[in-house]
Structure 1
Amino acid sequence: MSNIHDKAHGLEKAISESEEFQKLKSAFETVMKNPETKQMFDEFRDTQIRLQEKQMQGLEITEEEIETARKVVELVQRNQDISTLMEEEQKVNQLINDISRIITSPLEGLYGNSNNVN
């Protein structure tokens, strides 16, 4: 079992050293260096988390909350540093989704072929 864990740690290192992650890290550092941009980004993240928590709890999101979230999104999209950060985050998320698909393919193969087992 430790061999699999060693490979997982190797994958973690490869992700950390990847071009995608390094660009994300640089974009994040750029946002965090500017107090105004950092505050805007923090407000954006807080708004996202609040709305996600309400959804997970099955609570209704009000029109006022939707409008506030829309304004926050419009504001951060106008900030080039935050837009760049969001683009780089999306690329890393895509990389991780691709990796997840690859490492779960044995399960998909097993369960996907379950109809063929007699």
Structure 2
Amino acid sequence: MTVNIYDSVNQVASDLPQTQQFMAVQNAFAALKQDQVAFSMYKEFSELQEVLRNAQLNGQQPKEEDVKKLQELAKKMNDMDAVKNLMAAEQSLNQLLNDINSIIIKPINDVYDLND
């Protein structure tokens, strides 16, 4: 009997937005968007982070001024409640995703179990 594993994965994807962790991220991001200063800084941080990531992926050294600016933005954002709440919610969702991944890869790990 063959199983269409994509049906199972699609069900997990469908269920994910109904989890407490997902809804917490959604609510925290909505709250962040309401804080114009925090949201503007968050957008600038995200865009600069993407620039630095692309530079590294292309084998380029990131510009020192960009790295400093990113660090300054991160420091300022760490003092903002809206950002702190989003980061906490993201950590919780990430833990859920890590747990799901562990469950999914368990059969693969079992194949390579050296204790049998």
TM over 0.5: yes
Aligned residues: 115
TM-score (norm 2): 0.84
Deviant stretches of 4+, over 4 Å: none
1-structure distance, mates of 2:81, 2:18? 25
C-alpha displacement of 1:3: 4.4
> Is 1:69 paired with 2:64?
no
1-structure distance, mates of 2:66, 2:30? 29
Gaps in structure 2 of 5+ consecutive residues: none
C-alpha displacement of 1:88: 0.8
Aligned match of 2:45: 44
Q: How does 1:1-118 map to 2 (within 5 A)?
A: 3-110=4-111, 112-113=112-113
TM-score (norm 1): 0.83
Higher helix share: 1
Residues 2 and 42 from structure 1, CA distance in 2 versus in 1: closer, same or farther, beyond 3 angstroms? Answer: farther
AA aligned to 2:43 is D
C-alpha displacement of 1:44: 1.2
C-alpha displacement of 1:87: 1.5
